[in-house]
Each structure stands twice: as C-alpha cells, then as structure tokens.
Structure 1
C-alpha cells in the first residue's frame, strides 16, 4: 500500500510539474510572438502621456544618466520645444515613477506613472490632478511643505502621505537635474 501511495504522489507531482512547464512556455511564447505589438502599444501609451504634458509633433529618445529615460520634444520644423524625463524615487512602499516635462529650466507638466505600491487612499493620492498641477512652473529649488505654499517653488504635500509626496518631488528634481545636463551638453 505504501508503494502504491508514493507512486500516486510521484505521478501527481510529475503531472503538476509538466502542466506548469507547458503553461510557462506558452506564456513566454505568446509574449515572444507579440513583443513587437506590445512594444508599439507601450510606445503609443508613452507618447499619449507625453502629448498631454507638452505640445510637440515628435518625441525622440535621448541618452540620460542614472537609468532614467529622456525624450526631446520637437515641433514640425525640428525645433526643440522641451524635454521629458521619466525618473523614480522611493516613496512609502516602493519607487514612484514620474514623467516630467521641462522647458527652459522650468517644469511645464508632471504625470505620476506608477504609485501603485503606495498606501491606497493616502500615498496613491499623489496621482491626483490637484497635487501634480502644483509642480507647473517650479524649478530646481523645489520644496515640499506641509502647509500652504509660500512661494512658487513650494508644493503642498498630500495629507498623510509625506513620503510619497517627497518621492514625486525628488523625481521632479531629478528631471530638472537631467535637463541641466542635457542643456549643458547641447543636445
């Protein structure tokens, strides 16, 4: 009886292993087959966000430091109208990913791309329009405050989510620093 019982367990384990293996290869194969379509949809989504932040006819990827992403926004005549940077900083639960549009050293728009690991109802409020609109017009001296901002470079933190608010501000500051690097290099 014991030999029969271990044979059943072995057979069940082998079946489970084979099922997992087949499913893994099926998912990987599907991803491989559709990778170009997936990349195209991701780029279209990225361009949609960029178009909301800064008006341009084309967005060209540029090299930036620190594992960040950078894009040069150009109009139909090929003139640069601004830059967009995707940066991240650690918030309360994980990295908060932010896209910042910068023109002439000032922020013209911000979009929080991912704050999904921040506390629901608190930290995730950094994605709300009321918070992110405060960044427009700020420059490198950006500061997060808990009360009403006294000047244009101060942003009021989301109540109960200071770490998440600081993460967004740090990401925007990083974007401004990247803009300075790009401006100095003449890209």
Structure 2
C-alpha cells in the first residue's frame, strides 16, 4: 500500500512540474508566435495587393454573408486613401485540413495575386502541389465564377486541377471563388 501511495505521489509531482513547465514555455512563446503570424499576414497583404499603401480591416458584420471559407478581409488603400482593391483571407477545407490563403482582388473584381499562408495537412508531393506557384498562377486575372477541369486543357474562366490532387485543387478553387464573391460584395458596398 505504501509503495502504491509513493508511486501516485511521485506521478502527481512529475505531472505538476511538467504542466507548470509547459505553461511557462507557452507563456514565453505565445507572444513571439503571434508577432510572427502578424508579420507574415502583413507581408502577405502587401504581396497580394502591392498597390496598397495601407490596409483597413473590414468589420465582421460586412462579411456576414460571405460564406464559410471567408475569415477576414481588408480594403487596400493608396496614399490618398482611395481604394485599390480588396484582400480576402479564406480557409477552405482541403484533403488534410484547412488551406489558409490570401486573395488580392482588383477593383474590377479580377484576381490580382494570391498567397497560401498554410496548408500543412495536404499530402506532400500530391495535394501540396495545389499550393505551388505553377498551380496558383492559373488564377491570375480570372474573375468569378472559376471552374475546374481535369484531364483536359482549361478554356475561358477555368483552371486545370493538379493530377492526383483533385480534393486539394477543388479546395483552393472554393476558397478563391468565395474570396472573389466576398470582394465583389465589399467593392459594391460602402
């Protein structure tokens, strides 16, 4: 009985020390991680809409009808405060989790540039190809609603799916179409 009590107390002490250590590490690293994420977001905004001098975050109530993948949006403004486009952050569900992206949309509603912020759940060598520049560049200059084709050349407002990664390709497409729709709504609403 005494040995069992000693093992329980030892286990309790070890778990308590480990919990306190993990909480301490989290307390130290959480602000650093948040700062790095914010810096990556600001760099991403500037990359997908380079004509903007600053970005004004869109209030959540203006995004109420945007749909599930849309998480946030920013209006890009030039030095005079005039709108130069919209950046939409979307996170559609891919094969292995969310694919977080920024989509820069010009005032006419066409896609200017896009950037994948995170797609860690996609299969390396297959689904991850849907996050590569060669796939993403197909979207440039297109407007909603973009279609997806497999095993044939795209025409008009279509893109070619990544071979063997239809789910990931469709997820990126869903996020882009949702972002373009949200941007169109935001550019028409003041």
Q: Same fold (TM over 0.5)?
A: yes
**1:45 paired to 2:29:** no
Q: Which moved more, 1:60-69 or 1:91-100?
A: 60-69
Match of 2:184 among 159, 180, 183: 180
Please tell me whether the aligned partners of residues 86 and 187 of structure 2 are also in contact (alpha carbons under 8 angstroms): no
Q: How many angstroms apart in 2 are the aligned matches of 1:39 and 1:17?
A: 27
Give the 3-state SS of the residue equivalent to 1:25 in structure 2: helix
Task: Report the counterpart of residue 58 of structure 1 in structure 2.
Answer: 54
TM-score (norm 2): 0.87
Shift of 1:84: 0.3
> Partners in 2 of 1:45 and 1:98 — Cα distance?
12
Stretches of 4+ aligned residues off by more than 6 angstroms: none
RMSD of aligned residue pairs (Cα, Å): 1.7
1:148 aligned to which of 134, 153, 165: 153
Aligned to 1:170: 174
Unaligned runs of 5+ in 2: none
Matched, 1:81 2:81: no
| Superimposed CA distance per residue, residues 30-69 of structure 1 (whole angstroms, 9 cap, x where no aligned partner) | 25xx63x654433222121122212121111112235611
Q: Which has the larger radius of gyration?
A: 1
SS in 2 for 1:108: strand
Provide TM-score, normalisation by structure 1.
0.88
Partner of 1:12: 10
